[in-house]
């Protein structure tokens, strides 16, 4: 079944998010209060690893394990980047969780995050309805 | 084996998180990004008249499977890998002063619980907070995984703009608004 590898990668992601403490509301507050290097170190070193892998892929024209050319697509500029980012940031400081951690929190037994997920889906839905009236 | 039950320092967990980028690129030729799943879930149910949700969401099932795996992996870590949370004393002091009373676990239990949901404070933080996350990530076309990690791994300036937005929003909320919300006793 072709989806098994995605499930396994997801398991890895859920374990890392949990053990990294990234899913802790307290850690996110700590981040916004600049009280520790923890979250900045995690995000920064994650970017270093990710960027290094992209560098090698581009430099040596590396292929995927399936033999395909690896698709690297940078998201385009649009006017919603900043206002959307700000709106997300407002919510992130409230929930203490961005999308990945919301799901990891459910796995950690914080069932009420299911409501946050439903709310997020509702927020996405409202965006889809009103987007043409928004700048960008 | 002890490695798995100890607290992981950032210089271990950060690189492990960053590995999501090459894992997905090499094994599946997909780019890391979680918030689009909210869009795919909407697309499953939304009427075709809403253009934003009128696309073949079935091609993106892989990402939905990934977040299901995330739930499962988190459960494994929760059950077998002794997850910890260590937070700086300064943060505890600030939060305590602002009105947070419970510090065990991953989130303040008096807020992030079914009982907490039916307080005004909990409702705002869970429901409004979640709504802002869902709305904002689509408006920005990405979240911390898609923009901060994947986008910045691609050295994409547009993702940097989004990340700057994330922090502006987070700081405004944390310093200017959240203290009033945390103080709500109802």
What is the reported pLDDT for A47?
98
Q: CB under 8 Å to B148, separation ≥6 — which residues?
A: A43, A47, B159, B162, B163, B166
What is the reported pLDDT for A5?
97
Contact yes or no for A91 and B38 at CB 8 A:
no
Percent of chain B with pLDDT over 70: 100
Question: For residue B80, what are its two tokens?
Answer: 């077998």
What is the reported pLDDT for A7?
98
Q: Confidence band (pLDDT; 50, 70, 90) for B2?
A: confident
> For residues A36 and A14, what is the distance between their CA atoms, to the nearest angstrom?
23
Q: Strand pairing partners for A63?
A: A69
Q: Strand pairing partners for A69?
A: A63
- Which residues in chain B touch residue A60, judged by CB atoms under 8 angstroms apart? none
Contact yes or no for B112 and A113 at CB 8 A:
yes
Write the pLDDT tens digit of every residue in B127-155: 999 999 999 999 999 999 999 999 999 99
- The residue written with tokens 């933080």 in the block is B125
Contact yes or no for B127 and A74 at CB 8 A:
no
Question: For residue B81, what are its two tokens?
Answer: 């890998």
Distances (CA, A) of B132 to A5, B33, B66, B138: 31, 18, 23, 10
**DSSP 8-state class, residue B103:** -
Chain B 130-159, residues with CB within 8 Å of chain A CB atoms: 130-156, 158-159
What is the reported pLDDT for A30?
97
Computed over every residue of chain B, the mean pLDDT equals: 96
Say if residue A18's pLDDT is above 90. Answer: yes
> For residues B27 and A121, what is the distance between their CA atoms, to the nearest angstrom?
28
How many residues are listed for chain B in this entry?
186
Q: For residues B17-31, give the mean pLDDT.
A: 98
Q: Which of B70, B143, B165 sits opposite A107 (nearest CB)?
A: B70
Q: For residues A99-105, give the mean pLDDT.
A: 98
What is the reported pLDDT for B186?
77
Contact yes or no for B162 and A81 at CB 8 A:
yes
Looking at the complex, report in whole angstroms how far the Cα of residue A94 sits from the nearest Cα belonging to chain B: 5
Q: For residues A39-66, give the mean pLDDT.
A: 97
**DSSP 8-state class, residue B48:** T
Contact yes or no for A108 and B106 at CB 8 A:
yes
pTM, two decimals, is 0.96
What is the reported pLDDT for B185?
79
Q: Which of A62, A73, A134 sits opposite B31 (nearest CB)?
A: A73
Question: For residue B12, what are its two tokens?
Answer: 């271990």
- The string over B83-102, giving b where at least 16 C-beta atoms fall within 10 Å of a residue's C-beta and e elsewhere, is bebebbeebbebbeeebbee
Say if residue B156's pLDDT is above 90. Answer: yes
Write the pLDDT tens digit of every residue in B61-108: 999 999 999 999 999 999 999 888 888 889 999 999 999 999 988 999
What is the reported pLDDT for B144?
97
Of B93, B79, B64, give the one whose Cα is nearest residue A107: B79
Contact yes or no for B17 and A46 at CB 8 A:
yes
How many other C-beta atoms can be found within 10 angstroms of the C-beta atom of residue A48?
Answer: 15
Contact yes or no for B70 and A30 at CB 8 A:
no
Q: Is A135 helix (H, G, I), strand (E, B) or coil?
A: coil
Q: For residues A13-33, give the mean pLDDT.
A: 97
Question: For residue B4, what are its two tokens?
Answer: 């798995």
- The string over A20-43, giving b where at least 16 C-beta atoms fall within 10 Å of a residue's C-beta and e elsewhere, is bbbbbbbbbbbbbbebbebbebbb
Q: Measured between CB atoms, does A94 come within 8 Å of chain B?
A: yes
Computed over every residue of chain A, the mean pLDDT equals: 97
Contact yes or no for A75 and B15 at CB 8 A:
no
Q: Are A77 and A133 in contact (CB under 8 A)?
A: no
Question: For residue A123, what are its two tokens?
Answer: 């927020």
Give the A:B interface size as CB pairs under 8 Å.
503
Q: For residues B105-119, give the mean pLDDT.
A: 95
Q: For residues A19-42, give the mean pLDDT.
A: 97
Looking at the complex, report in whole angstroms how far the Cα of residue B6 sits from the nearest Cα belonging to chain A: 9
More confident residue, B173 or B83: B173
What is the reported pLDDT for B155?
98
- The string over B132-164, giving b where at least 16 C-beta atoms fall within 10 Å of a residue's C-beta and e elsewhere, is bbbbbbbbbbbbbbbbbbbbbbbebebbebbbe
């Amino acid at each position: 079944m072709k989806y098994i590898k995605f499930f396994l990668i997801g398991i890895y992601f859920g374990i890392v998010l949990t053990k990294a403490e990234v899913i802790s509301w307290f850690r996110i507050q700590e981040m916004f209060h600049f009280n520790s290097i923890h979250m900045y170190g995690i995000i920064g070193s994650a970017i270093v690893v990710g960027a290094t892998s992209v560098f090698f892929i581009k430099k040596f024209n590396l292929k995927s394990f399936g033999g395909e050319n690896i698709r690297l697509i940078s998201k385009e500029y649009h006017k919603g980047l900043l206002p959307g980012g700000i709106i997300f940031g407002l919510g992130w400081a409230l929930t203490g969780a961005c999308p990945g951690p919301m799901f990891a929190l459910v796995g950690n037994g914080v069932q009420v995050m299911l409501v946050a997920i439903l709310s997020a889906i509702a927020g996405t839905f409202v965006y889809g309805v009103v987007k043409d009236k928004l700048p960008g | 084996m002890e490695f798995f039950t100890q607290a992981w320092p950032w210089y271990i967990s950060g690189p492990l998180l960053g590995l999501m980028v090459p894992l997905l690129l090499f094994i599946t030729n997909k780019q890391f990004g979680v918030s689009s799943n909210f869009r795919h879930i909407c697309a499953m149910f939304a009427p075709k008249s809403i253009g934003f949700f009128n696309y073949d969401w079935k091609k993106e099932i892989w990402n939905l499977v990934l977040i299901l795996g995330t739930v499962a992996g988190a459960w494994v870590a929760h059950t077998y890998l002794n997850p910890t949370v260590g937070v700086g004393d300064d943060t505890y002091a600030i939060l305590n002063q602002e009105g947070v009373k419970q510090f065990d676990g991953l989130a303040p239990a008096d807020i992030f619980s079914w009982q907490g949901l039916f307080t005004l404070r909990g409702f705002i933080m869970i429901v409004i907070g979640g709504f802002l996350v869902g709305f904002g990530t689509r408006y920005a076309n990405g979240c911390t995984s898609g923009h901060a990690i994947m986008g910045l791994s691609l050295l994409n300036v547009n993702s940097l703009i989004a990340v700057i937005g994330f922090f502006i929003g987070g700081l405004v909320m944390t310093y200017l608004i959240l203290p009033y919300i945390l103080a709500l006793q109802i």
